[in-house]
Structure formats: C-alpha cells, structure tokens
A and B are shown apart, each in its own frame.
Chain A
Amino acid sequence: MTTLQLVEVTAGFGAVTVLHGIDLDVKDGEIAGVFGLNGAGKSVTMKTIAGIVPARSGQIWFDGVDITRLDAESRVEMGMGHVPQGRQVFANLTVEENLRLGAYTLRRRDKSRYPAVLDSVYDRFPVLRERRTQKAGTMSGGQQASLAVARALVNEPRLILVDEPSAGLSPKMQGDLREVLQVVKDSGVTMVLVEQNVAFGLSLVDTANLLQTGVVVHTAPVAELDEDTLATHLGIGRVLAGATGSALTARKKR
C-alpha cells in the first residue's frame, strides 16, 4: 500500500519554477530517501507535501486522499508530522511546552490520551524528560534534534517528513539520531527522509529518490543502487563517493 504519492507535482515562487514535475511513491512503513545537491529542491518538495508551498499542478495523495488543495494544518490533523530543516524548535518555550504544541491536534481530538503518549516519548528520549523545564533554545544541537523528532512523534503521526536531521551533528550524535529514526521506523511510522549526508541517509532508507533541479531522475530500492548511479546523479566526487560507497555496501549487507 502507498502512504504518500506525488504525481507530476510542480511548484515555485513567483516567476521561478522550482519543482518541474515530481513523482514520488512512499510505501507503508518504509523510509523513502530524497537525495540531491544543494538547491535541488528537496526542502521545497517537503514543503509542498506539507502544504506550506502550494502545488501549481499535479496531485498529492496521502492515505488514498487527494490532499493537493488541503491546507497544511489539515494535513497535520490527518496524521502528517514534520521535522523541518534547521529543526525550528520553539526556542523561547520549554521542552515540555514544545511537546505540548507538537501534540496540538492530538490534544484537540482526545486530550486524555496525551499523558500516556508524552510518557512514551519521554521514555524514548530520556534527555528530554530530564530537561523538560529548560528553554528549547538553550539546548545543544543534538538535544534540539531529539526535541524536533519528539515534537513530531508526540502527535502520533502515520507519516513524518524529516529534512536534514543530521546537519550540524557530531558523528556520535549522528549515531544516536540514526538509532532513534530506526526505532521510529520499526514502530510502523512511514518516513520521507531528506539528507545532504548521503552516507547517513543510505544507512536508513529503503528506497532512494535522486533529485536534480526539481525532477526525480532516479528511483531505486537501496539494494539495487550502485555507486556509479549515485556519483552520476549527485555529482559526488571521488573522495566523498568513497564514504558513500562504503555506507552503501554496509547497508546492503544488512
């Protein structure tokens, strides 16, 4: 079954068209990776799925419903969650207030469920429980990354859109984040993952969509990906390709 489907989606700003007909298929329970160079349109794709940037043509289907013209808030109500690029935690609010806002639509639907959900999120992110009264803006990058993921999860989404979560994190913190995202996936949440850090991304995704200036030029399950394809479409130089290649090999072994 397909959770999310984009058909020939175009989008842009003013006279500029950024997405020139994006096709994307995200199956239930998988992690779909979107990779591409800076400015390829990864974040705009995410924002179009989110409903912050309107699609100019084409269709977006979520759980069998055409959401192309639906506003962003209704998409969240339908079960879409977001971990935006740059994390965008509410810096002046405490950790707990961030999470309470994350569960905004859950709490409107059924407030009584919230304590239990919050508890399970705290169990998954013990550091957030410890720091629940701390202002989010004063936390470290890694902690903010955890908070951004937790804020999306606390609304019990069926699909989360995660945009460059590893940016600015140390290798150790990236490792922690990878584990967290793996656990999220194992709990049955479908995910679209955008990554600059292809090695990090490949260690998680089930399928890879390679994006070049607003078009998906290649889609394949990771098992069928090879280094040459990555290098061609992402323009990755030899050195980088080495790291990416070993990540790919490691991933295929699993």
Chain B
Amino acid sequence: MLQVLAIGLISAGIYALFAVGIVLVYRGTKVLTFAGGEVGTAALYVAAFLVTDHGMPWVVGALAAVLIAAAAGLAFEAGLVRWSREADPVVTSILTVALSATIFATEFNLHGNNPTTLETPVRIGSGLDVDGVIVSPIQIAAIVVAALLGFGLQSFLRRTDFGLAILAAADDAPATLLVGVRVSRIRLVLWASSFGLAAVAALLVEPTVGFITPGYASTLYLGGLAAAVIGGLDSLPGAVVGATVLGLAQAFADKYFKGLGLSGLSYVVTLTLLLVVLLVRSYAPEIRKRLAAPVEVTA
C-alpha cells in the first residue's frame, strides 16, 4: 500500500510540474500549450552539452537550461504568438504543436536516438526508503516544488496587481490595455515563465527517467495535460490535485490489474479518468438542476 502511494506520488510530482505550466499559460492566454515536453527536453540537451560534454557543474548547466528555455519563450511569443493573436487561441495551440514537432526533429537530427545522460548530483543522495521503494531527494523536490508552485502562483495571481492583470488580459485584452496595463509585456512574461517552468520540470524529472532521448518527456507531458484537464484547466491548485489523482490511479491500477497482462495500462487509466471527469463536469449542472427542482406532485 505504502509502496503504491510512493510510486503514485512520484509520478504525481512530475505531472504536476508540467500541469502547472500548462494551466498558467491557459489562464493567461486561453491557449493550450503542447510544447512543454519538447521544450523541457531541449533544455536538458543544453544542460547535458554543458555538464556532460564540457564538464561544467550541474548547477551551471541547469541554470543555463532554464534561462535559455525562458529566452526561447520570449522569442516564441514575440516571433509567432503575437502575430496569431487576432486569430483563435486554437491557432496558437496548434502553433505549439508545430513548435514541439520542430524541436523534436532538430533533436533527432543532432542526436539521433542515442540516449544522452546528465549527471545529476542529487541522484547520489541516499533517498527515502518507503516500504522498499526508494524515493530520491529530487523526486521529493519535484513534489514539493510542484505543490509550492501550484498554490503559490494561485495566490500571486489573485493578490498582486500584476497577477490580476494577467487574469484580466486573458478575459478581455483591449479593456486591460485601457486601464494602462502593458498587456504585451504580460504575454512575454507568461510565455517565458511557461518555457522556463518546462525546463525546471524536465530537470527534476530527468533523474527519474535516467537518460535523455528526443521526445522522452512527451508521454509524461501528456500526463501533465491530462492532470491539467482533470483539475479544471483554469485552476493551479486543481492541476496539482489532478496530478495527484492521476499518479495514484495509475500506481494502483499498475499494482492491482498487472495480472491482466495489459500493455499500455497507464493510458487506459488516464483516458478513463479524463472521460469520467469530463462527463461529470458536463452533466453536473443538469443533475444539480434536477435535484434542486421541486418534485412534481400528480393528483
């Protein structure tokens, strides 16, 4: 039981990190971003280039990875997103798919399918023994960072003027300009933070996976997308909760249905959860209405 919990929470931490970035962009721009996984992977290649190939300390590589990812976010907003803004957010979402594919192709061209490694200092830590499952310090860090981000960003959005401006710009950008908010700056900050977050997530995930290949974070990123949707897509704490539910559900299914010999069990769990959440959400208002309606009495 404890084992399953530990395994579930490890995945939850990873999903949550990705989900928080997804929800942040969604809240601020109504765009669903699919690029986080590949952006994170590319950032890892940057870190590996500096650390593995050139012997720099891990911290330097990690910092460079996050900064370069954030800069890429700025460039993506200023170079592409800004010009598609007149169109539907769906168009921008598709742009993120294109970006993801482009990054993947570039990685593949540069590295082929050979796994690259990144020596992470924290991996050497002893870790926590939970009923036989070793939870490494970095996995604990992933969960903690995700939870802090989820709840911290939420109160940042509501409490600070800049946060409020982010929420307002998402709903009505022209009206937000008219109160004197530099909306274009907000968008830059949002995309830079989301790409930066993707890099942070990838750095915290890498030791769990153990190696880097093109597209390696994609499956995990899908988990993040699912977690974001389960959490309601526009709630940052919801993203963390969604990730926890998803991680635990997968871990439990893995433990108790393993005997069925199904491959791709985690996909089945993810899709089932998504389906249930979406169904409940679309029928909830109707059910509530029926429950609240006065009972008809026939004579």
Whether A73 touches B164, Cβ cut-off 8 Å, given contacts A88-B174, A88-B175, A91-B171, is no
- A72 and B164 contacting across the interface, CB-CB below 8 Å: no
- B178 and A84 contacting across the interface, CB-CB below 8 Å: yes
- A73 and B182 contacting across the interface, CB-CB below 8 Å: yes
Interface status of B172 (Cβ within 8 A of chain A):
yes
- B172 and A52 contacting across the interface, CB-CB below 8 Å: no
Interface status of B32 (Cβ within 8 A of chain A):
no
- B175 and A104 contacting across the interface, CB-CB below 8 Å: no
Whether A107 touches B174, Cβ cut-off 8 Å, given contacts A73-B182, A101-B168, A155-B179, is no
For A151, give the chain B residue with the smallest CB separation: B179
Whether A104 touches B171, Cβ cut-off 8 Å, given contacts A73-B180, A155-B179, is no
Q: Which residues of B contact A155 (CB under 8 A)?
A: 179-180
- Rounded to whole angstroms, the CA-CA distance of A72 and B174 in the bound complex is 10
Number of interface residues of B (CB under 8 A): 16
Interface status of A93 (Cβ within 8 A of chain B):
yes
Interface status of B218 (Cβ within 8 A of chain A):
no
Q: Which residues of B contact A52 (CB under 8 A)?
A: 174, 177-178
Interface status of A38 (Cβ within 8 A of chain B):
no
Q: Which residues of B contact A91 (CB under 8 A)?
A: 171-172
Chain B contact residues: over half helix, strand or loop, or mixed?
Answer: helix
Chain A contact residues: over half helix, strand or loop, or mixed?
Answer: helix
- A93 and B164 contacting across the interface, CB-CB below 8 Å: yes
For A50, give the chain B residue with the smallest CB separation: B178
**Chain A proximity of B154: nearest CB distance (Å):** 14
Whether A101 touches B178, Cβ cut-off 8 Å, given contacts A91-B171, A92-B171, A107-B161, is no
Interface status of B46 (Cβ within 8 A of chain A):
no
Q: Which residues of A contact B161 (CB under 8 A)?
A: 100-101, 104, 107-108
Which residues 92-143 in A have Cβ within 8 Å of B in the complex? 92-93, 97, 100-102, 104-105, 107-108
Q: Which residues of A contact B174 (CB under 8 A)?
A: 52, 84, 88
What mask results when residues 180 to 213 of chain B are scored 1 for a CB within 8 Å of chain A, else 0?
A: 1110000000000000000000000000000000
Interface status of B5 (Cβ within 8 A of chain A):
no
Which single member of A76, A88, A102, A105 contacts B172 (CB below 8 Å)?
A88
- B168 and A90 contacting across the interface, CB-CB below 8 Å: yes
Q: Which residues of B contact A93 (CB under 8 A)?
A: 164, 167-168, 171
What mask results when residues 76 to 87 of chain A are scored 1 for a CB within 8 Å of chain B, else 0?
A: 110000101000
What mask results when residues 20 to 64 of chain A are scored 1 for a CB within 8 Å of chain B, else 0?
A: 000000000000000000000000000000101000000000000
Interface status of B176 (Cβ within 8 A of chain A):
yes
- A105 and B178 contacting across the interface, CB-CB below 8 Å: no
- B167 and A104 contacting across the interface, CB-CB below 8 Å: no
For B158, give the chain A residue with the smallest CB separation: A97
- Rounded to whole angstroms, the CA-CA distance of A107 and B179 in the bound complex is 12
Binding site for B on A (CB under 8 A): 50, 52, 72-73, 76-77, 82, 84, 88-93, 97, 100-102, 104-105, 107-108, 151, 155
